[in-house]
Every structure is written in C-alpha cells, then in structure tokens.
Structure 1
Amino acid sequence: MTDLAQMDSVSRAAEIHPSSIIADGARIGHGVKVGPWCSVGPDVVIEDGAHLIANVIIDGRTRIGPGVVCYPFTTIGLAPQDLKYRGEPTRCIIGARTVVREHVTIHRGTATGSGVTRVGDDCLIMANSHIAHDCTLGNGVIIVNNVVMGGHVTIGDQARIMGAAALHQFVRIGHAALVGGVCGVEADVIPYGSVLGNRARLVGLHWIWLKRNGVRPDEMHRLRRAFRALYPRAMDDEKAAFSHRLAGVRAEYGDEAKVAEILEFIEAPSHRGLVRVAGGGAASIESDGV
C-alpha cells in the first residue's frame, strides 16, 4: 500500500485527460491513468497504476488500491442511500487489482454502521451491480452482473455471487460460498455452501471450487460426510435436532480445518440466522461455480 506521506497531490507520471476534473487535495499515484470525463473528489486517494477508463466518478474519503481498473459510468464513494446519513466523514476502500465494470455503484459507509465500505484485493465486480454502505467483501470475490445488496453485507474470500442475486442487509456469505443466479438471500450462507432458488436454500457445498483449489479426495470425503451429518437428507425436526448434530460433527470432524471453519461461522453472532436447507434435506449437487 502506498505511503500517503510520500505521495504528491498528483504524480508527474500520472496521465490525466484534459476533460477530467481532479479536485484540489486529491492524491494521484505513479502511473495512474485517468481517461476522459472523470471526476475525482478532494479526499480521494488513487494508488499507483490504477486506471479510470472514462466517465468514472470517485468522491468522499475513498481509497482506490494499486492496479484497480474502473470502467465507464462507475461511481465509487458517493453518499450512502441511508436516511440516517448526515454527511459524516465515512470511507470507502477498494483493494489492489480489483476490476469494477460498467455502471457499478459502491457507496461509502455510515456513522451508524462500521463507517467504511470495503472491497478486497483481486475482486471482479461485473456490470450494473450495487455494493451498499458498510458492506465488506473479502479477497478474490466475484460479483456477477446485476447483483444488488443491502447495507452491512459481509462476503468472505473467494465467494461467487451469480447474476441478479439480491442479498438482504446484514447477511453473511461465507468463504468460497456460491450464490446461484436470481437468488433472494435472506439469511447467512455457510463457508463453501451452495444456495439456489427464488428464496435461497442450501443445496450442497461448492464442490467445483473445492476441486479446483486443491482439496484432496480424502478431505473432500470427510467434508462431504460432515456436511451430510449437519444436513441429513431427511429431517423430521430440523430445528430441535440441529444443536445435537452440530455437537456430533464437532466431535467427529472438528479437527478438519474446513469443517472447523464452517462450525465457527455457524456459531458466530448473526443478524439473520442461517439459510434453510432445501426441502427434503440437502442434495449434494456438483455445482458449476465460477
């Protein structure tokens, strides 16, 4: 991350199109390219090698990481869509090498929330998506076209959110989870979980991601057994029995790192509870995640 104390207001090595407006006070790093008709506010920091292609608006106390690429008609760091917001100096941070495609909107945080909206490194935010105030996205997250999310959503590293999904405010999406297209997600999705449906239901684990990321067959086998123990195919009294199943999985599979991660996620504080399993128990589908 660039040392702000060593940054000029506008680096001499930056390329700024004459039609763009860079406000006094903005800090523009080495090798930054700002194309035509962009607007950069006075409290914005754009780190080395970032590229605003054209018609990009960045405002507020916003920091754009090194190597970030913003496509036309994106807006980053504008005021949140929250009636309680009164102009407090909240922030927006975009991590290194993240790509923000056309017509994406990313709003800064609120004083009543965390105060910062944060997108991690190496993310891909596809066209027409909206990242609301106080959301936190981990590293390597992919958000497909037309995804919308309410405020305070948390998305773990490597998660995939497919096209036109809608995430309720305060929802948590776990590490490497997969949210299917056109899902309405009203509750938390466990790490490596896969959810589908008009109102999202847990249908299995994100097996394709696990395979592509070097999980050994023996690990896959134990992870599958742990998942089926937590979410058996037939559950007569799901709510009453879940705590017993949780304890059983912890005793038998708790030494597996990915199982322990799922259990920790389940037991963490939650505003929304967990996404319900699909009717008749969880189907162990092989989902073609991105």
Structure 2
Amino acid sequence: MIHPTAIIDPSAELAEDVEVGPYSLIGADVHVGAGTRIGPHVVIRGPCVIGRDNRIFQFASIGEDPQDKKYHGETTRLEIGDRNVIREFTTVHRGTAQDQAATRIGHDNLLMAYTHVAHDCVVGNGVIMANAASLAGHVHVDDYAILGGFSLVHQFCQIGQYSFSAMGSVITRDIPPYVMVGGSPTKPHGINSVGLERRGFSPEAIRQIRKAYKAIYKSGLKLEEALQSLIEMSAATPEIQCMADFIQQTGRSILR
C-alpha cells in the first residue's frame, strides 16, 4: 500500500488501507482516513486531517503554509472531508490566525488540475472547480457551485449554492445562489437552470427561482426592495429563502 520511496513522518496517522505512491512526502501531524489513495510525488503537510475515500493525484501540494505576509508560523490547520478528488498540481493551503485558523473542504468535491484553494477558504460539498480555477484567501464556496476553468475569485467573496461561473470569470463580488455569471467584465447571465434540473429541482421551483432572479436583476428595484420581494416569494417557494438569506448577509455586496 505504501511505496518504499515514500517518506512518512512517524507522527503521521494513516488508516491501514491508505495507498501512498512513489516519492510522496507526508509530514508531521497528518491524519488520513480509510480508503484514501495518494498518488506519486504528492506533498502533504500538517496539521492536516483528510477523511475517507479521497483520491489525491500526482504533484498535488496539500496543507502547505499560507501565502499571507501576516503568517509567521502560527499553528493552523487544513480539514478535508470524504470522497474528494484532487487532481494534478492542485494546491491547498492551511488557514491563518487572522481568521478561524483553518481551511476547510467538505465532501464529494472535484478539484481539477492546477486549481488553488488559498488560506482560510471554506468549500462546501459537491463543488466542482475546473482546471486552474483559483480561490483567494477567505473565500466561501457553497454546496454544488461550479467554477469554470481559469475562474478567479477575490478575497472574502462568497459563491452561493448551485451557482455557475463561466470560463475565465473574474469574480470580485458575491454571487447569489443559482446565478450564472460570465463574460468580461463578469456579469450575471440568468440562472443555472441546467444544473438545477440535474439536481432534481422541480420545473415550478426553477420557474420561481427565475422570477426571483428577475426581481434582483431585471425589475429596476433597489436591492432592498428586491430583497423584500424574495422574502415574500419564499413563503410559497422555500428554495428562494437561501437567496434572501444570502443577500442579507453578503459582505462584499452581490455582483449586480
């Protein structure tokens, strides 16, 4: 299961069936759950906890020091859940003391080749980051969001659940749930209806979500007025409640 050329710190804890490929390096205070496969030439540094049944491909760098000039060696960590696929040359960094001292990745995510998850990011479940998509520090990506290839997300932004960014998007404001963005400069372009259909949303729910999108982006209402419309709509369509909640708590304002 563990190639003889792999170097594993004595304090690292690996489940009995974990696979480690040639020339990989696993440092101190790394915990890896059952069924996880680590390819060749992978570097994992702790403190880091990796769950069950993950697949980490060659040349990935997991749990490295954050790229933050305020970081001076404080003990911070990386937490990765179960059943994630982390492809070639992906980089995931630990958190900083200026936030929660942790970077967190949930379950069932796909991080394609050359993607980057910076310090203090929180990635939910079922997220897809296509090739070379990159998150700056403190970004939150909610469940089932999709970031197209070469998408770039500014620090402290939040990407709402089931949203979609087209290839090459430069995201400097929060993206509400269900919204599709793209172009240069990046702008909203409707809702992610195909993604919603694939995730089992009913035609009526999708129709109401599209109506909520129009209230935000097409009605000419001020954001506060559009928010009130969403709150009223959510009484009949619970799927819209997360849009209203998102707008109420946005930190950088929404892309509009």
- Counterpart selection for 1:244 from 215, 220, 225: 225
1:6 corresponds in structure 2 to none
1:248 shift after superposition: 2.5
Identity across the alignment (%): 36
1:204 corresponds in structure 2 to 190
Normalising by structure 2, we get a TM-score of 0.96
Partners of 1:199 and 1:93 in 2: CA distance: 34
1:3 corresponds in structure 2 to none
2:32 corresponds in structure 1 to 46
Q: CA RMSD in A?
A: 1.2
Partners of 2:185 and 2:105 in 1: CA distance: 26
- 1:166 and 2:152 are equivalent in the alignment: yes
2:254 corresponds in structure 1 to 274
1:229 shift after superposition: 2.1
Question: How many residues are matched?
Answer: 256
- Counterpart selection for 2:118 from 116, 132, 146: 132
1:203 shift after superposition: 1.2
1:99-123 per-position Cα deviation (integer Å, ceiling 9, x unaligned): 1000000000001112111111111
User: Do the aligned partners of 2:233 and 2:240 also contact (CA within 8 Å) in 1?
Assistant: no
Partners of 1:53 and 1:265 in 2: CA distance: 38
- Counterpart selection for 1:94 from 62, 73, 80: 80
User: Do the aligned partners of 1:226 and 1:253 also contact (CA within 8 Å) in 2?
Assistant: no
1:76 corresponds in structure 2 to 62
1:269 shift after superposition: 4.2
What SS does structure 1 have at the residue aligned with 2:212? Answer: helix
1:155 corresponds in structure 2 to 141
- 1:59 and 2:56 are equivalent in the alignment: no
| Range with greater deviation from structure 2 (251-260 or 115-124) | 251-260
What letter is aligned with 2:47?
Answer: R
What letter is aligned with 2:139?
Answer: V
2:129 corresponds in structure 1 to 143
1:279 corresponds in structure 2 to none
User: Do the aligned partners of 1:48 and 1:67 also contact (CA within 8 Å) in 2?
Assistant: yes
User: Do the aligned partners of 2:230 and 2:241 also contact (CA within 8 Å) in 1?
Assistant: no
1:252 shift after superposition: 3.7
Partners of 1:249 and 1:134 in 2: CA distance: 31
Partners of 1:253 and 1:16 in 2: CA distance: 52
1:10 corresponds in structure 2 to none
Q: Name stretches of at least 5 consecutive residues in structure 1 with no aligned partner.
A: 1-14, 277-290
- The 1:58/1:252 distance shift into structure 2, 3 A limit, reads closer
1:254 shift after superposition: 3.7
What SS does structure 1 have at the residue aligned with 2:254? Answer: coil
What letter is aligned with 1:119?
Answer: I
Normalising by structure 1, we get a TM-score of 0.85
- Counterpart selection for 1:175 from 152, 161, 185: 161
What SS does structure 2 have at the residue aligned with 1:260? Answer: helix
Partners of 1:248 and 1:130 in 2: CA distance: 37
1:253 shift after superposition: 4.0
Q: How does 1:246-265 map to 2 (within 5 A)?
A: 246-265=227-246
